[in-house]
Amino acid sequence: MNAPAAPSATPDQSPALIAALLALDPARLGGVVIAGPYSHLRDACIEHLLAAWPESAPRRRLPVTTTDDRLLGGLDLAATLAAGRPVLETGVLGATHGGVIIVPMAERMPTLIVSRLAAALDSGSLRLERDGVSTTLPARVALIALDEARDDEAGLAPALTERLAFCINMDALAPQDKWPEPLDAHSLGRARTRLANIRVPVSHLVALNEAALAYGIDSLRAPLMAVWTARALAALEEADTVDESHIAQAAALVFSHRATRMPAVAEAEPPDDAAEPPAPPPESASDTEATEDNQAEPTADETERLLEAVRAALPPGLLAALAAGNLRSRQRGAEGRAGTRQRSPTHGRSLGATRMTGRGGRVHVLATLREAAPRQALRRSTQATAGKIRITRDDLRVHRFESRRALVTVFVVDASGSSALHRLAEAKGAVELLLADCYVRRDRVALIAFRGSGAEMLLPPTRALARARRSLAGLPGGGGTPLAAGLDAALDVCERVQRAGDRSAIVLLTDGRANIARDGAPGRERAEADARASARNLRAAGIPTLLVDTSPRPQPFALALAAEIDGLYLPLPHADARLLNQAVRATAQDGRTRS
């Protein structure tokens, strides 16, 4: 296969073109992801994108710490009191109608905010049912999402990448002096009037769908956005029909960053492939008005050229990942972490307020006042209380980040030779029992195994417990016992979990016979010293740990290690399923209360 070297940015990916396309049809194309860390070039790129919009179009930056009050809007307390009638405070979404929202650090955006943005992108409007206000506001916005995730981090939420047609990869961007000038608003305006009337021959439409499927792009939003991108490209060239070059360019722009696999027949290309047309569409197809061309089948050549166009535009690194076939797993990892995103708003940043039920909770003063304000006139007439503001129990609002934080239980399994002798199978059985318990508590789990010369992350934090069991079942035993490496790996995961705002607990299953030092060198003494050092790190990080001793007789070193970690110690011979469960629950409880 003639795999091209890391493709340099084609002129297709220039910010000016993407800016023009977006400004032409923001409602259908949604926006653009800019992937890469902060740089002057990135700023220039954003400037370029914004230049395609008229001066009057609103631009807002949306901090990821935004709350519903700011994003959606609600009752404006001061104005309501001053006016003596409910006054709506427009949120960022409503205030940016017809303009652009820029989201820095978009990869950290909590799922709640993501879902609200996604809903606005879908409908172009904002339905408000908040604080006694019921209304619908226009909110047609384009999004510029700045995704600063590094390679090993989860990027922008899939619900948003799904809805943003384009992606500019900073690594692949041409130097600024190579960018074409942005188009002026006047010619954009003319192109816009033509947009809906541009015909798309059915054969092109079919080819686009074939290409999407070949690159493993499941969502049907992608081909639809590609169709409209092609229309916009044709409109810019003052053409009235989409031609093959538009289709190829649109496919490159919309599909390249969504690819999840390489086309299966990319190179084999059996000649009879062309002879086999796709099955005829369902009967009613001929009724639809889109049919404007007799030639409904794309030629095999066209499809092949389309695939090639996408291939040329694949972002650097992606090609290698696709070829190695490990992109799927990378994406699944991202899914696992989607849980983190979803849960992160349960703590740390304020989520806004909720009604006080029972007692407890920190009173959210502003929200309480907001609740009480509109009722003041009423209360003044009916209640004879002193004081300026009359607040009743019904008004009280409390902060909402008090709810439970997500817990990730990290299983660290000793798969060394000595452990294998000592009932690795039973340890696996014990973990399986614990997994079932995690399911009930809706916790996530991660799985690390150590053997030979190092530790391996078998499963990043996930709620897919069936997968945890599978990787555990397939875990081979044998080799030395690099205990320190196992503990380090566990600490690493826990720290990442905590950075994402969740809590973690470790369940360590080992016979404690450390014999491989941190640097991979054999030797019991250094191995044990290293393990103790790693244990102290765990203790310093304050991560609750349960050490399950899997050897037939309790091992003094395992006990010492547990003490070093400041964790619970449980020798397996004494541990039946019930006891194990209790111990893990106690550890998890610790994990909840400690942080």
**Looking only at residues 211 through 250 of this chain, which bind other proteins when binding is defined by CB under 8 A?**
212-213, 218-224, 227-228
| C-beta closer to other proteins: residue 376 or 498 | 376
Which residues from 40-69 bind other proteins, rule CB under 8 A?
A: 68
Q: Show contacts with other proteins in window 160-199 (CB under 8 A).
A: 162, 196
378 part of the interface to other proteins, by CB under 8 A: yes
Looking at 47-55, 118-126, 314-322, 526-534, which segment touches other proteins (CB under 8 A)? 118-126
**CA 31 vs CA 97, 131, 225, 229, 423: distances in Å:** 14, 30, 11, 12, 55
Q: Which is nearer to other proteins, 122 or 238 (CB)?
A: 122
Residues 271 and 265: their CA atoms lie apart, in Å, by 11
Judged by beta carbon, residue 75 or residue 318, the one nearer other proteins is 75
Nearer to other proteins, 404 or 594 (CB): 404
Considering the complex, state which of residue 83 and residue 540 has its C-beta at the smaller distance from other proteins.
Answer: 83
**Choices 280-288, 411-419, 422-430, 500-508; region in contact with other proteins by CB under 8 A:** 280-288
Tell me which of 175, 282, 360, 556 binds other proteins, using CB under 8 A: 282
Q: Is 90 a binder of other proteins (CB under 8 A)?
A: no
- State in angstroms the smallest separation of the CB of 169 from other proteins: 22
- Interface residue with other proteins among 54, 132, 348, 520 (CB under 8 A) is 132
- How far CA 449 is from CA of 421, 424, 475, 477, 491, in Å, comes to 16, 11, 8, 10, 13
Beta strands (DSSP E) in 489-544 are: 503-510
Identify which of residues 129 and 269 has a Cβ nearer to other proteins in the complex: 129
Q: How many CB atoms lie within 10 A of CB 373?
A: 19
Closer residue to other proteins, CB minimum distance, 42 or 108: 108
Sign of the Cα torsion 428, 433, 439, 445 reads negative
* Own/partner pairs, 122-131, CB within 8 angstroms, 24+ separation: 122/163, 124/27, 126/72, 126/73, 126/91, 126/93, 126/94, 128/72, 128/73, 128/74, 128/88, 130/68, 130/72, 130/73, 130/74, 130/75, 131/74, 131/75, 131/370
Residue 37 contacts other proteins per CB under 8 A: no
Please report, as a single letter, which amino acid is at residue 111. Answer: T
Q: How far is the CB of 266 from other proteins (least distance, A)?
A: 17
Strand partners for 345: none
- Cβ of residue 228: shortest distance to other proteins, in angstroms? 8
Residues 439-468 that bind other proteins (CB under 8 A): 439, 442, 463, 465-466
Chosen residue from 56, 151, 289, 387 binding other proteins by CB under 8 A: 289
Report how far Cα 239 is from the mean position of its chain's Cα atoms: 38
- Of 126-134, 171-179, 257-265, 567-575, which part binds other proteins (CB under 8 A)? 126-134
- Indicate whether 86 belongs to the interface with other proteins (CB under 8 A): yes
Please say which residue, 32 or 88, places its beta carbon nearer to other proteins. Answer: 88
Is the distance from CB of 235 to CB of 21 less than 8 angstroms? no
Classify 358 in phi/psi space as left (phi over 0), alpha (psi -120 to 50) or beta.
left
Chain centroid to Cα 580, Å, comes to: 34
HEC string of 288-312?
CCCCCCCCCCCCHHHHHHHHHHHHH
Q: Which stretch binds other proteins (CB under 8 A): 81-89, 319-327, 408-416, 450-458?
A: 81-89
What is the rounded distance in angstroms from the CA atom of residue 551 to the CA atom of residue 99?
65
Q: Does 264 bind other proteins (CB under 8 A)?
A: no
- Of 76, 107, 210, 443, which one interacts with other proteins (CB under 8 A)? 210
Size of the site for other proteins (CB under 8 A): 84
Binding to other proteins by residue 279, rule CB under 8 A?
Answer: yes
User: Does 576 help bind other proteins (rule: CB under 8 A)?
Assistant: no
Determine if 342 is a binding residue for other proteins (CB under 8 A). Answer: yes
CA 37 – CA 168 distance, rounded (Å): 12
The amino acid occupying position 535 is A
Least separation in angstroms between CB 311 and other proteins: 20
- Of 466, 333, 352, 336, give the one whose Cα is nearest residue 406: 336
Q: In the set 238, 273, 335, 525, which binds other proteins (CB under 8 A)?
A: 335
Stretch that binds other proteins, among 155-163, 306-314, 318-326, 501-509 (CB under 8 A): 155-163
Q: Which amino acid is at 101?
A: I
Binding status of residue 209 toward other proteins by CB under 8 A: yes
Q: What gap in Å lies between CA 111 and CA 385, rounded to an integer? A: 43
Nearest to 195 by CA among 28, 436, 18, 9: 28
Binding flag, residue 131, other proteins (CB under 8 A): yes
Q: How far is CA 490 from the centre of its chain?
A: 23
Q: Are strands 407-414 and 503-510 parallel, antiparallel or unpaired?
A: parallel
Nearer to other proteins, 183 or 507 (CB): 507
Yes or no: say if 110 and 403 are a contact pair by the CB < 8 Å rule. no
Contact window for other proteins (CB under 8 A) among 152-160, 312-320, 418-426, 486-494: 152-160
> 380 in helix, strand or coil?
helix
Smallest distance from the beta carbon of 265 to other proteins, in angstroms?
13
Q: How far apart are the first and last CA of the chain?
A: 53
Using CB under 8 A as the binding rule, the residues of this chain from 343 to 372 that contact other proteins are 343, 354-355, 357
Name the minimum Å distance from CB 81 to other proteins: 9
| CB 166 to other proteins: min, Å | 17
Contact positions with other proteins (CB under 8 A) in 16-35: 28
